[in-house]
Amino acid sequence: MIRVQKVRLYPNKTMKKVIDDLCDYRRYCWNQGLALWNDIYDSSLILDDKLLRPSERKVRDELVTNKEDWQYLLSARCLQLAISDLGKAWKNFFDKAQPDWGKPKFKSKKAPRQGFKTDRAKIINGKLRLDKPRGIKIWYDIRFKGAKNLEGELKVVSIYRENGKYWASLPFEIKIKKKIKTGKNSAVDVNVGHLNYTDGKTNTLPDNLKRLYKRIKYYQRKLAKKRVVNGTKANKTSNYVKTRAKLQRDYRKVANIQHDIIQKFTTELVTNYDQIIIEDLDVKKMQMTHVASKGLHRSLFGYFRQALTYKCNWYGKKVVLADKYYPSTQRCSKCGFVKTGEDKVGLNGNEKHRTKHNEYICYECDAIMDRDENAVANLLALLN
């Protein structure tokens, strides 16, 4: 199994320059490769010859053949891994089932996050050592913090710079012991702001997150006003740069808090239950308004499913996906009656019967239940 640890890097001035150069080189390789890929692909369409279609090998060999002298001072693996990722991105372009489907785009040097990958990094005496190109004499190992365990074989390392700080994702191939079987099952009903399951509820939007979102909104408005007043020169002012740094800091805090909540909740699920059933939601179709879209985005439905899936694979547990059209919200868990038409429960309850958002009233057996608890019971019934 591959387990990834995110660590903070503390490079000296020499290695900061090396990392910055590799970030720029990765972006250069990606953009050069994408431009070449597009040209070859367009030529194959004009000539109507599938044999001329671009491939990862064709593009990589062309870029390696036309290398400039300055490129030999940087890691060769940076180019090869960039083109490998480009090949995967282009392959995903022909699969519309991908969540972020679309044609690969050029990378911008103005993006707040810049990075590169290497598969030749090593951990030496508790420090990260990057591969040194030929002809380079001065080289240092990089100190880092945040790793809990450094056991296992180190795979492809991702290093990136964000808001003036340096980070690395260290993937280790390790053997993980299976969790003890408990003989219990659970269902999870995902909602905006909370996740309901068999034994209770987990809040995914606590008060500290709400405060951070208010601050983010304030910084965004402040930056927008500066852009209106100063135009394209706004991002060159010191106050603009400071405010943008504060905005990025708060975004990072939000991501850390959300990931911590999801990681702890999914670990609790795989520890206490053998089978967990969740809904196979089509999130894009659920984004009806910009307000609903924001709530769905903050609730991390996709990240929750991803984390639960790989942890179940690690520990020998099972994830079951309920059909996206299964009426878990409309069905009565007591008698099986399914609401249709004007009787359906919506985001604001039911206007016809004047029911609230969080209550479920069955018009067949007169049962009154909490809406989310009813949905959890309906999902759990699919396992029995």
Most confident of 23-32, 316-325, 342-351: 23-32
pLDDT for 103 = 87
* Whether the predicted pLDDT of 333 surpasses 60: yes
CB 267 within 8 A of CB 311: yes
pLDDT for 293 = 67
Q: Over the stretch 49-83, which tens digit does the pLDDT of each residue have? A: 888 888 999 999 999 999 998 998 898 899 999 99
Q: Over the stretch 246-264, which tens digit does the pLDDT of each residue have? A: 998 899 899 999 999 999 9
* Whether the predicted pLDDT of 160 surpasses 70: yes
Average pLDDT, the chain: 87
- The residues near 290 (Cβ < 8 Å, ≥ 6 apart) are none
pLDDT for 81 = 95
* Whether the predicted pLDDT of 244 surpasses 60: yes
Q: Which comes out higher in pLDDT, residue 334 or 272?
A: 272
Q: Which comes out higher in pLDDT, residue 182 or 233?
A: 182
**How far is residue 127's CA from residue 137's CA, in Å, rounded to a whole number?**
19
CB 158 within 8 A of CB 145: no
pLDDT for 157 = 95
pLDDT for 322 = 87
CB 109 within 8 A of CB 23: no
**How far is residue 174's CA from residue 37's CA, in Å, rounded to a whole number?**
36
Distance from the Cα of residue 310 to its chain's centroid: 14
Which DSSP string do the residues of 86-153 spell out, in sequence order?
A: HHHHHHHHT-TTSTT-S------TTSSEEEEEES--EEETTEEEPPPPTT------BEEE--S---SE
CA torsion through residues 12, 18, 20, 26, sign: negative
**How far is residue 58's CA from residue 52's CA, in Å, rounded to a whole number?**
10
pLDDT for 286 = 60
For 193, other C-beta atoms within 10 Å of its C-beta total 13
* Whether the predicted pLDDT of 370 surpasses 90: no
pLDDT for 205 = 87
pLDDT for 137 = 86
CB 322 within 8 A of CB 277: yes
* Whether the predicted pLDDT of 236 surpasses 70: yes
**How far is residue 143's CA from residue 140's CA, in Å, rounded to a whole number?**
9
The whole-number average pLDDT for the span 23-44 is 94
pLDDT for 347 = 65
What is the chain's length? 384
**How far is residue 312's CA from residue 267's CA, in Å, rounded to a whole number?**
9
Q: What are phi and psi of 183, to 5 degrees?
A: 75, 10
Q: Over the stretch 277-323, which tens digit does the pLDDT of each residue have? A: 988 876 665 655 555 566 667 777 888 888 999 999 989 899 998 88
Q: Which residue has the tokens 């520890």?
A: 271
End-to-end CA distance of the chain: 31
Angle at 109 between CA 108 and CA 112, to 5 degrees: 95
Q: What are phi and psi of 319, to 5 degrees?
A: -105, 130
* Whether the predicted pLDDT of 153 surpasses 80: yes
Q: How confident is the model at residue 351 (pLDDT cuts 50, 70, 90)?
A: low
* β-pairing verdict for 127-129 and 185-191: unpaired
Q: Does this model's pTM top 0.85?
A: no
**How far is residue 100's CA from residue 93's CA, in Å, rounded to a whole number?**
9
pLDDT for 93 = 86
CB 279 within 8 A of CB 190: yes
* Whether the predicted pLDDT of 174 surpasses 80: yes
Of residues 210, 204, 215, 186, the one with CA closest to residue 262: 204
* Whether the predicted pLDDT of 217 surpasses 70: yes
Of residues 78, 83, 79, the one with CA closest to residue 58: 83
For 208, other C-beta atoms within 10 Å of its C-beta total 11
Q: What are phi and psi of 308, to 5 degrees?
A: -65, -40
Q: Which comes out higher in pLDDT, residue 135 or 182?
A: 182
